[in-house]
Structure 1
């Protein structure tokens, strides 16, 4: 088990402390909760009201996005002229939810329409020549590309020679040259003044529909039923749950929990998600199943499910996708075991600051997942490669604070193509370049990565005494959701707590125990995958715990419980300064 660092948030300034005191009085909450709010940029009553009660009226004007006027004009003119429009999206969750949302909305107004998802294995990521040729052969003159296309300069140029226009809705980093499309929507464009940069591909598509509705006098209420898809993209693409995303996620979760579309409802049921859904449920319960269609079979299956309006038919589609997910898990487990063994058996790789592994028969659909699994064991930037169409295709994942995209970009002369984000990227390269790439990538990582970035960290919001925790405390905490990057579930440290009674080991891997501190009541602690701490718990010495709060309902009785993130025995090793 890797030793973790507990990292406190920045010590509040005297001004922030004063703000927290005022806010606690205004909101009638504890100073601890007021401090949490101030840490998250909530400094007065009005800001708190907006934070606790997000409002769709606060969404930004979509026409602030560069090229939005061009995009709406091209889409509107295509519909007026009866042109055939192709909705084109990537094969992951963000791409398939984007296509479902855009196609699903547009088909209520227009019928010269179809959608296209590239095959992960024969076409690869992004805009493909095959997809453009299919559009031309079938009479499409406008392609709306969602969650891809920002770096498809050559492909868009090729489409232009065929008389096929593009509107690009992307959220990945642009290259130095933008595609010559009819419109390029991407808030990460250097020349785009759109106030919020963290949208998903589905979010950029939503803003185009938002602008289309405004331009054409359509009530925005017709768009809101698609927010259940948008929150799935926000959760699964691990983008910040701040600003505009937080508003969209808040209302998306409401819809997901009250009136989800038939396809999502079927997935929720087959995933066994019985409690109120939050971002975490979506990430681990729905996202992998939607992704599994493209990983194991074809992502069109996911779009078919999400477009489905018949509940019985949706149930059949969901059953098939759930089977794909079970197959994905098998590949994931076996390839992860193989990858970890390769690291342990190779002295150079095990001693490097990065991991780059290649095996030609690994399943391309799970290599990103395997990269993440390897980071759980060897905390460093990781790239997993496999053979695809005669090339090495790879997925990269990073560790907090290290920009893996920039490191890959510096190896660009060894690559055929690449794209992605700070913490995740994809690439293709000639197989004969793998060893040179491995050496170059590790050299770049070694020169830039800080020693502390090679050790897993847990961000801690504050140290708290157990006697401060109550149902009122927890109810206010819940209202700070939806939680996610940029507004993570608050994490607490409580020091020198004692075991209240003998722990229980569950399923040989997990452990459940109770703790108290001074005169506090006892609280139940759940520690997944941590049965090995049993002997230390039983030695009678106090210990420090790092956790977040949750609730558990069993036999109609609901209790507060702690979800353990880490534990430290012996002398206290972490202390927040006063």
Structure 2
């Protein structure tokens, strides 16, 4: 049974006029409008012009923070960058460390161990830095929630600069949000209420990019674009799944274009060992191939391995590190599948799928993969989901949400039961005592205001488009919408009552359905990469076992008809091109 509810997005503009003005198909103009881009924003949306990036100096404390670091460089003080163990933390650490080095700083870095240290800066990392003669710590992709830890560092007499992009912790008093900002020497985070920066959704690496841009400019280096900071910010922007809107989308576009000519030896090596081509890197490759390899180090070994890769100057050594990361990711995939099976077993046994918020405790699940498992469970049941595992000192948890549930705000309501927590609307992390797990489950579900309609996954259709409208030019025009990702999703087209002439199950694991479909006189190949077993059950239930068996034997008829959500593409085989559709949903 198909549980998604289809909606046609109807946002209005003069699509024909915009198509003519910007030399794109009117359908593409309609898709762009559906991404909440207004007529006066289309030029910026389509642009590859770096001048559309916002002024870094609009970030609160950025001038102050860069002056602090430059002052420390002049004094010959030791500086340490402390990042995080995920893709955003690795990329932002690389940018800050390399940028400070470019202007003559004595700088090194440290990244927390996921299991031993947990997320973000902590007292032991601060004590270690102090004992090693570090004068100044600059955080990236963390720090905004570390009030007590930063207070400890200040008591030691250290200088601490925070750069972060996460939501600012707050207390709600008499209906007013009171921010709990750490008392660092400077705090750079666009999400502070009094920060005038016009775009609030930058990832940590993009904040680091802004920081280094001004750092270099103050030292007279105007051509910061020659460094590989843009591609690192792009990789983090896509890999950290921030919204690809406005400035994020431009950073992603510019950085991905720069990857084609990247001089970063480690990035080139990773692209090679994963079988990709740097000339054809897409957001999909970053999100599902490169990103998971970079994250695998922090999950199963150390995030310093990915950072070492980016800092590598010897290609043979880089290839060895890249291969190690790929192997770690392969192992991570196996562990994830096992974790998902365990989680489903527990959820089904205890009927947690009836809860508004699913909270499943897997004591033996490796805490490095609980976020991925949470995401997979969220997809299966379409419920906000927390997966917990037993850590060394406390139970660790990772959450993934649905669109109608702001996970961080909901956690604020029961913050007293956590040892530590942080996150944003769609994802969060936490530490909690084992004896508080049931109370956590109770409070999250008691407080939850979601109704049944919120638990029906929605599929937004951009254009209900007949197959005969598909041309190679349209497909080429659609490329201007890339890179695809959260907030700038791949367009979805749909058509009712498409005849399925025949179908066959393909692939080594029999996980692909290839169909020949017809609308009027037009015949296309159609490919479906989803749940094959589920689709075949649906077809047999709807049209009967006999009819589907006939279809599988390529005996054409017009009895099997489906409404299909799809994306058009060009299939190239043996030098020949043909139009096809990639089916994403059906009923």
TM-score tier, shorter chain, comes to over 0.9
In structure 2, relative to structure 1, the CA distance for the partners of 1:533 and 1:350 (3 Å cut) is closer
2:131 is the counterpart of 1:133 = no
Matches within 5 A, 1:454-465: 454-465=455-466
Gaps of 5+ in 2: 170-178, 541-547, 552-556
**Cα deviation, residue 42, structure 1:** 4.4
**Cα deviation, residue 332, structure 1:** 0.8
2:83 is the counterpart of 1:80 = no
2:136 is the counterpart of 1:142 = yes
* Paired position in structure 2 for 1:152: 146
**Cα deviation, residue 531, structure 1:** 4.9
CA distance in 2, matches of 1:430, 1:465: 56
* Paired position in structure 1 for 2:287: 283
* Paired position in structure 1 for 2:115: 121
* Paired position in structure 1 for 2:31: 36
> Any idea what SS the aligned residue of 1:419 has?
strand
1:229-271 C-alpha deviation (Å, 9 max, x unpaired): 1111001111111111111111111122332522122222222
CA distance in 2, matches of 1:351, 1:38: 37
> Any idea what SS the aligned residue of 1:107 has?
helix
* Paired position in structure 2 for 1:308: 312
> Any idea what SS the aligned residue of 1:479 has?
helix
* Paired position in structure 2 for 1:482: 483
In structure 2, relative to structure 1, the CA distance for the partners of 1:254 and 1:25 (3 Å cut) is closer
> Any idea what SS the aligned residue of 2:411 has?
helix
Normalised TM-score (structure 1): 0.93
In structure 2, relative to structure 1, the CA distance for the partners of 1:222 and 1:22 (3 Å cut) is closer
CA distance in 2, matches of 1:147, 1:185: 11
Contact between 1:66 and 1:192, CA under 8 Å: does it hold in 2? Answer: yes
Give the stretch that moved more between structures: 390-399 or 101-110. 101-110
1:203-245 C-alpha deviation (Å, 9 max, x unpaired): 1111111121232221133554221211110011111111111
CA distance in 2, matches of 1:480, 1:224: 26
* Paired position in structure 1 for 2:324: 320
CA distance in 2, matches of 1:561, 1:451: 37
**Cα deviation, residue 189, structure 1:** 0.4
In structure 2, relative to structure 1, the CA distance for the partners of 1:560 and 1:146 (3 Å cut) is farther
Contact between 1:23 and 1:43, CA under 8 Å: does it hold in 2? Answer: no
Give the stretch that moved more between structures: 372-381 or 28-37. 28-37
1:75-121 C-alpha deviation (Å, 9 max, x unpaired): 11011111101011011110011111221232233251110001111
Contact between 1:67 and 1:183, CA under 8 Å: does it hold in 2? Answer: yes
Q: How many correspondences in the alignment?
A: 559
Normalised TM-score (structure 2): 0.91
> Any idea what SS the aligned residue of 2:522 has?
coil
CA distance in 1, matches of 2:485, 2:533: 27
Give the stretch that moved more between structures: 257-266 or 205-214. 257-266
Contact between 1:503 and 1:514, CA under 8 Å: does it hold in 2? Answer: no
Matches within 5 A, 1:80-479: 80-175=74-169, 176-222=179-225, 224-259=227-262, 261-274=264-277, 276-347=280-351, 349-445=352-448, 448-479=449-480
CA distance in 2, matches of 1:79, 1:223: 22
CA distance in 1, matches of 2:227, 2:6: 40
Q: 1:66 aligns with which of 60, 67, 76?
A: 60
* Paired position in structure 2 for 1:571: none
Runs of 4+ deviating beyond 4 Å: 41-44, 534-537
CA RMSD between the two structures: 1.9
Gaps of 5+ in 1: 569-578
CA distance in 1, matches of 2:84, 2:373: 20
